Amino acid sequence: MFIQFLRENKVASGILLFIRLYLGYQWITAGWGKITGGFDANGYLQGAVAKATGEHPAVQGWWAAFLEGFAIPNVELFNVLVAWGELLVGLGLILGTFTTLAALMGVIMNFAFLFSGTTSTNPMMVILGVLILIAGYNAAKIGLDRWVIPFIKQGFYMRQVKPALEHK
């Protein structure tokens, strides 16, 4: 019943707009701050690895191994991915363009931060992002997806489905 409300109700679409705008603002300001502020994830990643030790580690060993073996050696790539990923997720949510993809990428980044031992606002952002994911297209009806999604679907139909039907 709640899922149907999120996916089909006009009031839910309005509520989801405010959730999208809030999340989008959080992501866009974080990303822009990193892009313009000379962001370097190395200290953060090293700190996350250090949290994987002790009697009650905040970071699980498998995640620390990923950070040590892949993220830290490729920190320059992660500096770009995190900063621009946050900015693009924010833009997608605010504009309502590729909304479910933006929400999914935001939730994935939130989980990466949680796995790295940072709580902050990440759990709340995960919950709000999951609401947008569950709502699907209804979360973007008040946004550019109202026109983008039908355009993409029509283009797919014209390029893939219609020629296949005509060929038969």
Q: What is the per-residue pLDDT for 156? A: 65
pTM for this predicted structure:
0.87
Distance CA 119, CA 96 (A): 27
| Residue 168, pLDDT above cutoff 80 | no
Answer yes or no: are the C-beta atoms of 133 and 31 closer than 8 Å.
no
pLDDT tens string 68-123: 999 999 999 999 999 999 999 999 999 999 999 999 999 999 999 999 999 999 99
| Residue 157, pLDDT above cutoff 90 | no
For residue 87, what is the DSSP state?
Answer: H
Answer yes or no: are the C-beta atoms of 87 and 36 closer than 8 Å.
no
Residues 6+ apart with CB under 8 A from 148: 97, 98
Report how far Cα 72 is from the mean position of its chain's Cα atoms.
22
| Residue 167, pLDDT above cutoff 80 | no
Residues 6+ apart with CB under 8 A from 166: none
| Residue 140, pLDDT above cutoff 80 | yes
Domain boundaries, given as residue ranges, for the chain = 2-167
